[in-house]
Amino acid sequence: MRCLVKFFIMGASGFIGNYLINHLISSGHELIILLRRDTGSNIDNVEKVIGNPLKEGDWQERVSQCDFIVNLVGRPIFTRWTPEAQKEITDTRVLATEMAVRTMEKSERLKALINANAIGYYGVTGDKDVTEDSPKGSGFLAEVTHKWQETALKGEKLGKRVVIPRFAAVLGKGGGMMRHVIPVFKNYIGGKIGSGKQWFSWIHVKDLCRAIEFVSINENIRGPVNFSTPNPVTNLQFTNALAKALERPAVFHAPGFVIKITMGDMASLVLDSVKVLPKALLDNNFEFLYPDIETAIKEIVSE
């Protein structure tokens, strides 16, 4: 029997947040969502609170009515990594997490904090299989995710359970990287990036939402949890699967040096190889709806 609970969601207005709201509502849960401004829309079983997730505010008092905090706040990383952008990418994640942890002191009802993170924690790992036990890597994203994680884990000192979902690339309709990639392939200019041999770790957004619900209500799950499919693919395999689904050729090739000139340090997002496996989810018998890239892309490109 499914346990129905109440969630407080920070960062609810983005691509993942919108999917998560719909999933949790369809599962029968209640939600309070934190927004910077009122969007004007009304959704059953969702209460809206207006506030800044980076600052103390009255919004924190509402957490006492909930069982779980899900924190998704963070400036998107798909931007040129200037010093100013790097600071904002880091600060939005760390400050919002600090605010989430502070709210945990004010609620006896609250059971856990589910605080987003990313597989950038591992850095570049080549062909090696990566699990939650793998060490921290190097580079900008590894440092950001480490600070992000350490801030969230302060919640454990309050006697609360903390879960750190490390997101792989999130694939889904209407947002994320697919919003940029699909038009390129539809216009017959898609192809592999760099050597095409680099590993691409990913998860379908619907599985990500199901996994958030799963780790929330499974009390034995805590700490870092890889949110990635059990079947990572190479960039070339991803390219071929998308081209086949869209019935387009994938003959173009973007050399690594061109990507680095165009994207700067952010090029590491598409050129670095990381082969992440979801050991914690599989050990706890989580079942993926979209375990392979062909099934996932077929759902995403369908009308």
pLDDT digits (tens, 9 = 90+) for 263-293: 565 556 666 889 999 999 999 999 999 999 9
Query: Does any domain span residue 181?
Result: no
For residue 200, give every residue at least 6 positions away whose Cβ sits within 8 Å of its Cβ, in sequence order, or none: 169, 232, 233, 234, 235, 237, 238
Range with lowest mean pLDDT among 43-57, 114-128, 151-165: 43-57
d(CA 73, CA 144): 13
d(CA 296, CA 201): 13
d(CA 175, CA 69): 23
Query: Does any domain span residue 81?
Result: yes
Which ranges in 37-174 belong to alpha helices (H)?
83-104, 140-152
Domain that holds residue 29: 6-171+202-228+278-289
Q: Please tell me the predicted confidence (pLDDT) of residue 50.
A: 94
At 113, phi and psi to the nearest 5? -110, 125
Query: Does any domain span residue 90?
Result: yes
Stretch 137-149: mean pLDDT? 95
Q: Please tell me the predicted confidence (pLDDT) of residue 19.
A: 96
Q: Tokens 């680099």 appear where? A: 198
How many structural domains compose the chain?
Answer: 1
* Among 290, 196, 282, residue whose Cα is nearest residue 238: 196
Element at 254 (helix H, strand E): strand 252-254
Query: Does any domain span residue 134?
Result: yes
Q: What is the pLDDT of residues 171-215, one digit of tens each?
A: 999 888 888 888 888 888 888 888 889 999 999 999 999 999 999
* Among 269, 275, 182, residue whose Cα is nearest residue 232: 275
Inter-residue long-range contacts of 72-75, CB under 8 Å, 24+ positions, other chains counted? 72/9, 72/10, 72/11, 72/12, 72/14, 72/16, 72/17, 72/20, 72/116, 73/10, 73/11, 73/97, 73/116, 74/11, 74/116, 74/148
Reported confidence tier of residue 226, pLDDT bands at 50, 70, 90 = very high
Q: Is 144 within 8 Å of 95 (Cβ atoms)?
A: no
Query: Does any domain span residue 184?
Result: no
Query: Does any domain span residue 176?
Result: no
d(CA 49, CA 47): 7
Q: Please tell me the predicted confidence (pLDDT) of residue 4.
A: 81
- In the chain, the amino acid numbered 284 is N
Which ranges in 10-159 belong to alpha helices (H)?
15-26, 83-104, 140-152
Eight-class DSSP state of 58: G
d(CA 171, CA 126): 22
Task: Give the Å distances, CA to CA, from 106 to 49, 66, 102, 155, 156.
Answer: 17, 11, 8, 12, 14
User: What CATH number should be reported for the domain holding residue 73?
Assistant: 3.40.50.720
Reported confidence tier of residue 1, pLDDT bands at 50, 70, 90 = very low
Does 21 or 37 have the greater pLDDT score? 21
d(CA 166, CA 125): 15
Q: Please tell me the predicted confidence (pLDDT) of residue 35.
A: 93
Query: Does any domain span residue 80?
Result: yes
Range with the largest mean pLDDT of 43-52, 245-254, 293-302:
293-302
Q: Please tell me the predicted confidence (pLDDT) of residue 140.
A: 92
Does 106 or 119 have the greater pLDDT score? 119
Query: Does any domain span residue 208?
Result: yes
